[in-house]
Amino acid sequence: MAVWLLAALAHADGVPERYAQRYRTVSDPHGLIEDVRKQLDTHSETLPPTQERELLWLMGNAAINSNDDAALAEATLRLDSLAAARDDTVASAAAGFLRSRHDIENGDGDGLSEALRAAAKMQDVRDPVVAAWAKYALCDSYTLVEDARNGLPLCQQVQMNYRELGDTWGLAEAENDEGANLATLNRAAEAAKAYERSRAHFRSVGADQLVVMVGDNLARMYLELGRAHEALALSQASLAQEQATGRVSDALLSRANIARAYEAMGRRADALEQMKTTIADAQAAGKEGLLPDLLQTRSGMAEKAGNNALALADAREVIRLLADRRSPALRSTESALEARYVTREKELRIRDLEHQNRLKDLALKAAQAEAERQDEARRRQTLSSMIAKLVAGGLILIAALLFLLLRAQRRHAAELSEQALRDPLTGVGNRRAFLQRASALVRMHGDPRQPPHVLMLIDFDHFKRINDSVGHPQGDRVLAVVVDHLRETVGKFGHLARIGGEEFAVLCPHFGAEAGIRLAEVLRAGVAALPLPAEVQVEHVTVSIGLALLDGVRCSDLDGWMRAADAALYAAKSYGRDRVVASALVS
C-alpha cells in the first residue's frame, strides 16, 4: 500500500519519508491514530479514496500495536463502509486483514479464515504494490498462527516482490516473518540468518526500534544456538532502548530475555533473581497481561534449578491469572498449563517417591549388607566351630588311632616277646624263657625254710634213630605229642621249656627233692607208656631225666645248677636211659 504518499504524517526522526508512517505504527501508534483521525475529520470531503484507505490501514495497525480496540473498530468500520460505498475490494480486504490480525493476536474467532477470505479478494489484483501487500498480510497471518508450512514459502516469495519494488521496509518485515516461521520449524540457525537480514534492512532505513524488536527474536535464536553472550548483548541493548523510550512492557520482556541468557550461561541464581525483580516490577506496573508469560518462564527456570516449590507456585499462579481470560487461545494455553501442571506435579510426586524409594533402597541395602555381614560372621563362627569340632574330632580320632596303634603295637610287642620266649614247634617256653625263669628263681633263692627249687633236664633217648627210621617230620610229630603229655603232667607244679633240639627242662619252684624225684618219675613213666599215633609209625619213646636242687650248698648259681642237672642226665643216659637220676645221687 502506498502509505509513503502521506508525507504529512511523516515526522519520525531518521526514517526516510517513504517509511515514516509505517514506522510510526510501531514507534508512535497513539500519535498516529490521533493524526489520522484529524486528517479524516478535517479532509473527509477532499481526501481521495485511496489515501483514505491507506490512512485507515495505518490507523488499524497502530490500533492493534497499541491495543486500542476502539480505534481498530473505527478503522475497520470505515474501511467496510468505503468498500460498500465504492465497491473497493482493497478496502474490504484491508478490513479483513486487520480483523484477522486482531483476532489471531487475541485468540478470538478464526483469524486465519478471515485473512484467507481477504487474500482471495486480492487474487486478481494487478497492481504489484497491492498484490505484494496482500501477500505479505497473508504471510503475516500464517506466521501468527504458526502455520510455517504455508507461511514460510509465502514470506520468502513476498521478499522477492518487495525487492523488485525496492521496498526495504516490506522486505525487512517479510524477513522477520521468515525468521519466525523457521524458528517454528526449529531451524534456529536459518532463522537467525533471516532475523539478521531483517535487522540489517530495518537499520538501513533507520528504524532503530524495529532493529531492537527483531533483535529480541534474534536473541531467542542465539540462545537456541548456544550463543548466550550475543543473546545477552542484544537483550541488554533492547532493554536500554525500551527504558529510554519508556516502553515498560517491552522492557519487562527484554529483562526476561536477559534472565534466559543468564540461565543459558549457567548463571541460574542470576536468572532467577532477574525474573524475581521483573515479575515484581510487572505486578507493580499492573502489567497483568505479561505476568503469565513471565511466571511461566520463571517456573521453567526454577524447575531446572531444582526449586520445585517455586516452579509449582508459579505454574499455579499462571493458571489463576489465565482463568479470568476466557478467550479460546487462553483457554487452550490454560488447559496446556493445567495439563503441564498436573503432569509436573505427578513427576514431582514420582520424584519424591523415587527419592523415598531410593532412601528405602539404601536402608534396605545397608540392612542387607549388615545381615550379610552377620551371616558371614555366623558362617565364620560356624566354620571355626566346625573346624574346632573337626580338629577336636580329629584329635580324638588321632588319639583313638594312636591308642589302637599303641595297643596293637603293645599286643604285637607282647606277641613278639611271647614268640621270642616260645618254641614254635611245641608251644612251650624256649631256652630264653627257661633262662629268664631260672635266673629269677636263682635270685629268689635264699629262704632255707622253703623247699629248694627243682630243675629237671629231660632228653629223648636215641632220637636220632627215630629220625633216621621215620624221617624228621615224623620225629617232629613225636616231639609234639610227647611234649603235650609232659606239659599236662607238669601242670601247675612247674614250667616246661625246650632248651635244645630234643632236650627239655622243667623248673619247679620250692618243690623239694622228694616231690621233684616223684614228679620226674611220673614224667618218665608216662612217656614210656605214652601211646603214639599210628601214623608216626613209632611204637614208643623214652626219656632220661637228670634232676638237681638249687640247695645253696652244692648249687647256688644258675651255672652250677645247670651243670649238676646235666651231670645227673648224663648219668641217667649212662645207666641205660629211660630213668631218673638226681644230682645228689650222682656225686
Ligand X SMILES: Nc1nc2c(ncn2[C@@H]2O[C@H](COP(=O)(O)OP(=O)(O)OP(=O)(O)O)[C@@H](O)[C@H]2O)c(=O)[nH]1
* Alpha helical stretches, state H, 422-505: 431-444, 463-470, 472-490
CA distance 322 to 330: 7
Angle at which helix 69-86 crosses helix 49-65, to 10 degrees, equals 160
CA distance 87 to 242: 43
Query: What is the pairing mode between strands 503-508 and 543-550?
Result: unpaired
Minimal distance, residue 523 CB to ligand X, in Å: 16
Considering the complex, state which of residue 257 and residue 474 has its C-beta at the smaller distance from ligand X.
474
CA distance 356 to 522: 114
Minimal distance, residue 437 CB to ligand X, in Å: 21
Considering the complex, state which of residue 358 and residue 464 has its C-beta at the smaller distance from ligand X.
464
Q: Indicate the DSSP class of residue 429.
A: B
Considering the complex, state which of residue 75 and residue 433 has its C-beta at the smaller distance from ligand X.
433
Cβ neighbours of residue 325 closer than 8 Å, sequence gap 6 or more: none
Minimal distance, residue 573 CB to ligand X, in Å: 6
Minimal distance, residue 521 CB to ligand X, in Å: 19
Minimal distance, residue 504 CB to ligand X, in Å: 11
Instruction: Enter the C-alpha cell of residue 78.
Output: 470505515
* Alpha helical stretches, state H, 305-327: 308-323
Q: What is the side-by-side strand order in the sheet with 495-498?
A: 495-498, 503-508, 453-460, 543-550, 580-582
CA distance 491 to 487: 6
Give the number of C-alpha atoms closer than 13 A to the C-alpha of residue 319, restricted to the C-beta side: 14
Considering the complex, state which of residue 160 and residue 425 has its C-beta at the smaller distance from ligand X.
425
Minimal distance, residue 454 CB to ligand X, in Å: 22
Q: Report in angstroms the alpha-carbon separations of 92 from 63, 79, 89, 536, 558.
A: 18, 6, 5, 164, 168
Minimal distance, residue 498 CB to ligand X, in Å: 9
Strand, helix or coil for residue 544: strand
Considering the complex, state which of residue 383 and residue 425 has its C-beta at the smaller distance from ligand X.
425
290 neighbors 252 (Cβ within 8 angstroms): yes
Considering the complex, state which of residue 314 and residue 461 has its C-beta at the smaller distance from ligand X.
461
CA distance 336 to 487: 128
CA distance 231 to 258: 8
Minimal distance, residue 410 CB to ligand X, in Å: 32
Q: Indicate the DSSP class of residue 547.
A: E
Considering the complex, state which of residue 468 and residue 559 has its C-beta at the smaller distance from ligand X.
468
Considering the complex, state which of residue 145 and residue 528 has its C-beta at the smaller distance from ligand X.
528
Minimal distance, residue 419 CB to ligand X, in Å: 17
Minimal distance, residue 538 CB to ligand X, in Å: 11
Considering the complex, state which of residue 468 and residue 557 has its C-beta at the smaller distance from ligand X.
468
Q: Report in angstroms the alpha-carbon separations of 491 from 479, 488, 495.
A: 18, 5, 8
Give the chain's length. 587
What is the CB neighbour count within 10 angstroms for residue 518?
13
Considering the complex, state which of residue 149 and residue 462 has its C-beta at the smaller distance from ligand X.
462
Strand, helix or coil for residue 533: coil
Q: Interface residues with ligand X (CB under 6 A)?
A: 459-464, 467, 472, 475-476, 479, 501-502, 573, 577
Minimal distance, residue 445 CB to ligand X, in Å: 30
CA distance 456 to 516: 8
Considering the complex, state which of residue 347 and residue 476 has its C-beta at the smaller distance from ligand X.
476
Considering the complex, state which of residue 120 and residue 470 has its C-beta at the smaller distance from ligand X.
470
Q: Indicate the DSSP class of residue 422.
A: B
Minimal distance, residue 457 CB to ligand X, in Å: 12
